[in-house]
Amino acid sequence: MRQLQSLLFILGFFFSGQTTASDYHEQLLLRPLHPSLLLASFNFQSNTTWASFEQQNFRYFPRSLGQILQHANTRELHLRFSLGRWDAESWGARPWGGAREGGTGVELWAWVEAETDEEADGRWLTLTNALSGLFCASLNFIDSTRTTRPVMSFQPSGGHNDSTLENLHLLHGTLPREVVCTENLTPFLKLLPCKGKAGISSLLDGHKLFDASWQSMSIDVRPICAEGETECQLQITQTIDMVLDLQRSKRPRDNPIPRPVANEELKCDTSKPYNSHDTCFPLDTAAQEEGWSLSQIFGHSLKGSCPLATDGADPVCINVPHARHVFTSAGAHEHKDPNGYLRCFELSPDGEFDLTLPDQDITEKAPLEQPLLYAERSFIGYGQESGGVQAILTNPSPTESVDFVYMESLPWFMKLYLHTLKAKINGKDKPVIQEMYYRPALDRKRGTQLEVRILIPANSTVVLTYDFEKAILRYTEYPPDANRGFDIAPAVITIGNVSIRTTSLLLPLPTPDFSMPYNVIILTSTVMALSFGFVFNLLVRRFVAVDEADQWDLRAVRLKIAAAGKRILGRFGSGKGKVENIKKVQ
């Protein structure tokens, strides 16, 4: 059980230790999840020497990204595009220990080298704008109100030398509202040396990726300096993780509407007394593993291996019990891990590769790794004026306590009352907050940043609550769909190398009626005109008795109009000079 913990982590570290041997590495790990889901983790990693990066000779490292990093003096970069919710209760721990995923939407953090904070802000602005163009995402909307400088949650993962480390500034920004879609995948694939034309990246397809129950794309750039070596390297790691619903993915693309299973294909429990030709009680399929193949799930098979990956690692691995039948297309060699649930496949450089797992009755399942912490966060409270947030953090381990940092970055219009921050452990008030870092918001300038270090004893639940007040925004500060609410970035929970993100929240703010300014203009104008007319007429008019007033002779007016009409008709063609006279007559 322990050795299986974080399978991806082991794989990842195994290859990252080998990085100097080869410049490019790619691997796909498939892990069936319950019920009838499949986690596919794509990992692409390439290295370049620091010298060739500085000289801008790009081989495996993408030129477009390299230029941006140099231009913005960015030493380490982490960019995430995520969608959906990881169901930790039934899917277990997150892939890569949560280190390769971000909150819903887009998340970016980077270590920028700069002398002063202002310079760092300027470079951060350059970086976000350039990345925005490269990835077709609204990253340029990460302005000062969405940028924080976390103190406890993030640590540089790369090997920076001490001199640069002093001048590094960590900046972190989130865009929870951003919808990740195909236009973000295309530039992502362009950064890969094999570009989705060969190797495991040929499986990636926007239709399938963004149809997943949960998906996360990540790009990490970090320098690595091996001990004793003088030359450092720059490593770019791109990962895509997705949880696919097998039945949903298997639907043919030309006929995607789900239809009921035909009668003759239904598997019925024949032991039921009411079972007959038109009555069926479906058999329990828990023991039945659903069959699938790569080409069914991803729409097409894998187009050979990427010839650049020469590190000898098998490009495709699957995490199933050895008893499960797995068939591959010809030309592929299987390597089984003798004491685990892992088997890997070596592919032929050309020729298609497909992996087929048939329907099989098997009770043995590859064990799931238990997460270190369960976290959920929701709004409490009511009304348009104020509200509250409650985060429930559960340590499932019966023996070990967990020490973690909980970080919130809230927008300025969600005004946090710090004195209401309370942490209850198993329903009792006990001091569990070890350390706290709080940076209050400034209206329209920056958001709230809250980092809390909490220690949860074994088998306990901590409920963290705080209240906030909703600010009233200016008329132009509302987005076009103001009634949808405002997305609040997920909280980031850091436990050493493992990180967990809660879901994002949707905050409804008091929304004005947007036709209001025009109504106000018209109403005020009417009131002003009424009072003005009243005063003016009082001053100007002469008041006489009813029988003394000028009388409106309707017939005379009618006659006058008729005469004028006749005259107009008569003189219509005779020139414009007479129009004036007609007007006077009217």
Partner 1 sequence: MSAKTEASEALEAEGSIVEDTATAKNQEVPANAVNVAPKKKEPPPESPASIRLRQYVIASFWAIIILVGLPIWWRTTAIYRAKLPLDQMMDWADGRACRPVFPLRISIEADALQDHEAQHLLRTTQHALDDLNEFSAHHLRLQLSQPANASVETTGLSAGAGDEEVALTIRLLPGTTTQADLQAYSPILDIQYTPNQVPSSSSSASSLANYIANTLRGLFAEEQAMIAYLLSTSSAPPERSPKALSPDVAESLARWTTRSLKYSRTYHLTFSLFTPAATPSSWDIEAALEEYMKPLLASFSEISNFTIDTQVQLYATPGVSGNVLKKEDLSGFINAAEWPLSPSIGGAPTVNFILYVGDMEVEGGGKSWLIPQWGGVVIQSDISDLRPAMLIFSNQLMSLLGAPEAGSLPLRLMTLVRVRSAGLLLKASGTMGSLARLTLALPSISIPRSVAEGVYTTIEHLRKACDGLGGKEGLENARIAEEAAEKAFFEKSMVGQVYFPDEHKVAVYLPLLGPVGVPLVMGIVKEFKAWRKRRRESR
Q: Which residues bind partner 1 (CB under 8 A)?
A: 55-60, 62-64, 66-68, 71, 130, 134, 190, 193-195, 197-198, 306-308, 521-522, 524-526, 528-530, 532-533, 536-537, 539-540, 542, 544-554
* Distance linking the first and last C-alpha atoms of the chain: 100
| Closer residue to partner 1, CB minimum distance, 2 or 542 | 542
Q: Least separation, in Å, of the C-beta of 525 and partner 1? A: 4
Which residue, 302 or 308, has its beta carbon nearer to partner 1?
Answer: 308
Nearest to 500 by CA among 490, 492, 508, 489: 492
Give the integer Cα–Cα distance in Å for 69 and 222.
Answer: 11
Smallest distance from partner 1 to CB 204, Å: 14
Comparison of 70 and 363: residue with beta carbon closer to partner 1: 70
Q: How far is the CB of 190 from partner 1 (least distance, A)?
A: 5
Tokens read off for 565: 């009409």
The span from the CA of 33 to the CA of 31, in Å, is: 6
319, 31 in Cβ contact below 8 A?
yes
CB closer to partner 1 out of 51 and 261: 51
Neighbours of 249 (CB within 10 A): 20
C-alpha 183/C-alpha 206 separation (Å) is 9
CB contact set of 578 (below 8 Å; sequence gap of 6+) = 571
DSSP symbol at 271 = T
Q: Residue 335: beta bridge partners? A: 344
Neighbours of 512 (CB within 10 A): 14
Task: Output the CA–CA distances (angstroms, integers) from residue 214 to 91, 125, 225, 253, in the order listed.
Answer: 11, 30, 34, 20
By C-beta, is 226 or 549 nearer to partner 1? Answer: 549
Q: CB nearer to partner 1: give 352 or 376.
A: 352
Structure tokens given for 448: 């709230």
In angstroms, what is the minimal distance from the CB of 107 to partner 1? 22
Nearer to partner 1, 286 or 545 (CB): 545
Is the Cβ of residue 5 or residue 57 nearer to partner 1 in the bound state? 57
Cβ at position 197, least distance to partner 1 in Å: 4
Cβ at position 555, least distance to partner 1 in Å: 10
For residue 388, give Cα distances in angstroms to 329, 381, 414, 418: 56, 5, 10, 11
Is 489:479 a contact under the CB 8 Å cutoff? no
Minimum gap (Å) between residue 136 Cβ and partner 1: 12
> Whose CA is closest to 109, among 176, 172, 33, 157?
172
**How near is the Cβ of 568 to partner 1 at its closest, in Å?**
19
Amino acid at 105: G
How do beta strands 352-353 and 233-245 pair? unpaired
Distance in angstroms (rounded) separating the CA atoms of residues 309 and 60? 11
CB of 552 to partner 1, least distance (A): 4
If the CB atoms of residues 546 and 569 are measured against partner 1, the closer one turns out to be: 546
Q: Which is nearer to partner 1, 497 or 519 (CB)?
A: 519
Smallest gap from Cβ 521 to partner 1, in A, equals 6
Whether 424 contacts 462, CB under 8 Å: yes
CB 47 within 8 A of CB 66: no
